[in-house]
Amino acid sequence: MNNFKNNTIDHTPYWHADTGFQEHSIDTELSSLPDALEIIIVGSGFTGLSAALTLARAGKKVAVLDSGKIGSGASSRNGGLLGPSFHKLGMQGLTKKYGQDTANAVLKESLAGFDWLVDFIGRENIGCDLQHCGRFRGALTPEHYTNMAKQAESLAKVLDYPVTLISKSEQHLEVGTDKYCGGVVYNKDASLHPAKLVQGLIEKLMAEGVSLIANAKVGNISADGQGFKVKVGDREIATDEVLIATNGYTGNVTPNLKKRIIPIRSSMIATQSISQELMHSVSPKLHTHGGTDRLVLYYRPSPDGTRLLFGGRALSYADKPNEYIKFLHDSMLDIFPQLQDSKIDYAWSGLVAYSFDHVPHLGKMDGMYYAMGYCGSGVARANYLGHKIAMKMLGNAGETIFEQFEFSGKPFYNGNPWFMPAVIRWHSVADKFGW
């Protein structure tokens, strides 16, 4: 039985409530900006903030504009699961599609991006509850388990990325459910507090004197021969370069990027504080978790180990809390019936961006730089590729395998993901029957 009471749920991301994120006033007034700048970054998530830091430290005059609060897009509302985010096709699929060398390069750079972020957090001394907790991925069917074993074997040939295969009889040591037919532990995977990472980046940027302008929705960008004119409300600001860092929120200001991105809503719930014993019965080693389901369910303990944070794709593109809270709560109880009496304290959602080839993309379009399309796994990718695109803007190499893939759309697709609700409902049925 589903016993949550929606009217007692706080619709603030747990991460925001935990840090007082909404009350922080770190942004500068739009009126304080000069009429001309060297670089304007549109979007203040990990991509924009990471790029801004690299650019500012190279001596560039940078402003970051966001239509909402600084960092309030997906970057401060995600699950905080941190891993290399290997390509959806896996080793075999990548090799078949792109050849062995490209497949190896994608996997190696995915791991390099993860290592880069872990190193960056340590070097910059950003307190964001980084925990090297490992991730358990459960197989929904015996076939999925066999495939996982093959993937683990081929990964080990290319990467120094320790993976432990866990049989069904041993899985209770990793996760407190019989739902899976075994799985793997990615030992190197980690978790962090995303809003604390955003705040850490903001502090670094403020120390560099970067202007962070909230509630500044960019309405138009036009090329003027020498650079660009960026329109925000009544202001028009001239800039030499523009970086578009809008990912799942990419809109009509950049129609050519919008039609290459499929925005998908991802949603999360957080339980009330639960006892250590109950948490242990769910996640004995406090791993992060996911499964082979198509709806991409993921979950983890909060950094203090007191709440379970549980997420997955929302069924609709529009923000419909009643719909996704019920779906997530039902899914959570299906895996962990022992949480039956645990109330839901928080529920929230945000937008992620898929590309048609499931590869993140960065480069230059219509004269403007961009980095986006992290396919729902952007904590490491957005920070790393934000840094990489900034290196490109500085004229340094910033080479990456991800710039070699063509950023394509589809005929007749203009950025309106009208087909996604049907696809997601199909995924939900397929998961139910283990297809």
Ligand X SMILES: Cc1cc2nc3c(=O)[nH]c(=O)nc-3n(C[C@H](O)[C@H](O)[C@H](O)COP(=O)(O)OP(=O)(O)OC[C@H]3O[C@@H](n4cnc5c(N)ncnc54)[C@H](O)[C@@H]3O)c2cc1C
Residue 303 as a binder of ligand X (CB under 6 A): the answer is no
Among 9, 63, 74, 270, binds ligand X (CB under 6 A): 74
Among 54, 266, 292, 342, binds ligand X (CB under 6 A): 266
Site string for ligand X, 195-234 (x = CB under 6 A): ----------------------xx----------------
Least Å distance between CB 318 and ligand X? 14
- Quick one: which segment of 25-33, 54-62, 108-116, 239-247 binds ligand X (CB under 6 A)? 239-247
Contact of 163 with 86, CB cutoff 8 Å: no
Contact of 39 with 241, CB cutoff 8 Å: yes
Which region holds residue 109: left if phi is over 0, alpha if psi is between -120 and 50, else beta?
alpha
Residue 245 as a binder of ligand X (CB under 6 A): the answer is yes
Instruction: Tell me how many degrees the CA angle 431-434-435 measures, rounded to the nearest 5.
Output: 90
Contact of 267 with 314, CB cutoff 8 Å: yes
Among 80, 84, 90, 176, binds ligand X (CB under 6 A): 80
- The H or E element spanning position 344 is strand 344-355
The dihedral of CA 210, 202, 353, 13: what is its sign? negative
Nearer to ligand X, 76 or 95 (CB): 76
Residue 350 as a binder of ligand X (CB under 6 A): the answer is yes
Nearer to ligand X, 74 or 333 (CB): 74
Q: What is the DSSP letter of 323?
A: H
Which region holds residue 158: left if phi is over 0, alpha if psi is between -120 and 50, else beta?
alpha
Q: Please state the φ and ψ torsions of residue 221, each to the nearest 5 degrees.
A: -130, 125
Hey, which residues does 213 pair with through a beta bridge?
65
- Quick one: which segment of 77-85, 117-125, 127-135, 146-154 binds ligand X (CB under 6 A)? 77-85
Scanning residues 17 to 36, which ones bind ligand X (CB under 6 A)? Answer: none
Residue 67 as a binder of ligand X (CB under 6 A): the answer is yes
Scanning residues 364 to 383, which ones bind ligand X (CB under 6 A)? Answer: 372, 374, 376-379, 382
CA distances from 229 to 39, 146, 257 (A): 11, 55, 18
**One-letter amino acid identity for 359?**
V
Among 39, 63, 65, 243, binds ligand X (CB under 6 A): 65
Q: Please state the φ and ψ torsions of residue 110, each to the nearest 5 degrees.
A: -60, -45
- Quick one: which segment of 105-113, 262-270, 387-395, 400-408 binds ligand X (CB under 6 A)? 262-270
Write out the two tokens for 24: 């922080």
Least Å distance between CB 168 and ligand X? 26
- Quick one: which segment of 19-27, 46-54, 94-102, 172-180 binds ligand X (CB under 6 A)? 46-54
Nearer to ligand X, 227 or 248 (CB): 248
Coil, helix or strand for 139? coil
Residue 192 as a binder of ligand X (CB under 6 A): the answer is no
Hey, which residues does 115 pair with through a beta bridge?
none
The contact set with ligand X (CB under 6 A) reads 42-48, 65-68, 72-75, 77-81, 217-218, 245-249, 251, 253, 266-268, 298, 311, 349-350, 352, 372, 374, 376-379, 382
